[in-house]
Homo-oligomer: A and B are copies of this chain.
Amino acid sequence: MKLYVIKIGGNVIDNSENLHKFLKDFAALKGLKILVHGGGKMATQISSSLGIEAKLVDGRRITDIETLRVVTMVYAGLINKNMVAQLQRYHNNAIGLTGADGNFIRAKKRPVKTIDYGFVGDLDGQSVQPESISKLLDASFTPVFCALTHDGDGQMLNTNADTIASALAVSLAEMYETTLIYCFEKKGVLQDIDDEDSLITEINPERYEQLKLEKIVSEGMLPKLDNAFDAIKSGVKEVIIGRADELHLLNTKSTFGTILKSN
């Protein structure tokens, strides 16, 4: 059976008009699906209203205990539950989750090397419980994950939403024909970063090596694409990178943006 794992980030969440359009399109998308969302700017705004300063060490963001409290409130409470209520309005039977719920995603607190990142969780091949998640899918629920996991010992952990989406897709690829979709602000991978009409519609590993040699892939896209091809190597059928407002195209032509495939 087909399964979509779809990740949206701050650019969708921070604009309520974009978010509503996206949730309506997501609800209308046929087939099994999982949504993963990041946090957007709201956590930063609420932290600052609460007088909690962003902690940075060597330019890297640190999740101290105060910040963890705020992201638990904002990601798992405010953002997640309002999304769920909207999806219900559009007749999609969503359930809002963190990795702690159902023990679906268990992480390890990032070990302290040169930087102590605080309450940040890293995932490995054993983190996701696909059989447990499939019980929700089988019962016609749509899991909506925010960017939080737990350590199994009572501690919530802040975890990158891209990483969660990719770990879910790889793990569930054992049971479903899985497409991982990263929604971002551009149409997809562009030949010319300033020209939205220069979309590359399809990339396989061979073409990717070429694009890297020709320096067509921008620095910022490299880690995204490396991760995408790692997911494909680990069993994910395809990865799509494209704009959230083109997601609806999946219902008619079964793809949009740039599609990454193993061949």
Question: What chain B residues lie within 8 Å of A72 (beta carbons)?
Answer: 77-78, 81-82
Q: Which residues of chain B are within 8 angstroms of A93 by Cβ–Cβ distance?
A: 102-103, 132
**Does A116 sit within 8 A of B, measured CB to CB?**
no
CB of A154 within 8 A of CB of B69, answer no
Q: Judging by beta carbons under 8 Å apart, are A81 and B148 in contact?
A: yes
State A84–B156 Cα separation when bound (angstroms).
10
Question: B88 near A103 (CB under 8 angstroms)?
Answer: yes
With A100-B84, A101-B96, A139-B139 as known contacts, state yes or no: A153 contacts B89, CB within 8 Å. Answer: yes
| Count class of interface residues, chain A | 35 or more
Residues of B within 8 A of A201 (CB): none
Q: Is A135 in the interface zone, CB < 8 Å from B?
A: yes
How far in angstroms is the closest Cβ of chain B from A6? 18
- Do A85 and B150 form a contact, CB below 8 Å, given A94-B101, A102-B93? yes
Residue from A50, A98, A101 having most chain B Cβ neighbours under 10 A: A101
B150 touching A139, Cβ below 8 Å: no
One digit per residue, 1 when the CB lies within 8 angstroms of any chain B CB and 0 when it does not, for chain A 109-153 equals 000000000000000000000001001100101000000101011
What B residues does A220 contact at CB under 8 A?
A: none
Report A171-220 residues with CB < 8 Å from chain B CB.
none
Residue A255 CB within 8 A of the other chain: no
Tell me if A95 counts as interface (CB < 8 A to partner B). yes
Whether B156 lies near A85 (C-beta < 8 A) is yes
| Residue from the list B78, B85, B141, B152 in contact with A77, Cβ < 8 A | B78
Q: Bound state CA distance, A154 and B139, in angstroms?
A: 22
A49: contacting residue among B51, B78, B150, B156, CB under 8 A: B51
**A residues adjacent to B (C-beta < 8 A):** 46, 49-51, 69, 72-78, 80-82, 84-86, 88-89, 93-98, 100-103, 132, 135-136, 139, 141, 148, 150, 152-156
Q: Can you report 8 residue pairs joining A to B where beta carbons are below 8 Å apart? A: A72-B82, A73-B74, A77-B77, A77-B80, A84-B150, A88-B154, A94-B102, A95-B101
Q: Given A46-B50, A84-B101, A84-B150, list of 12 further CB < 8 A pairs?
A: A73-B74, A73-B77, A76-B76, A77-B78, A81-B148, A81-B156, A84-B98, A86-B154, A88-B154, A89-B154, A94-B101, A95-B97
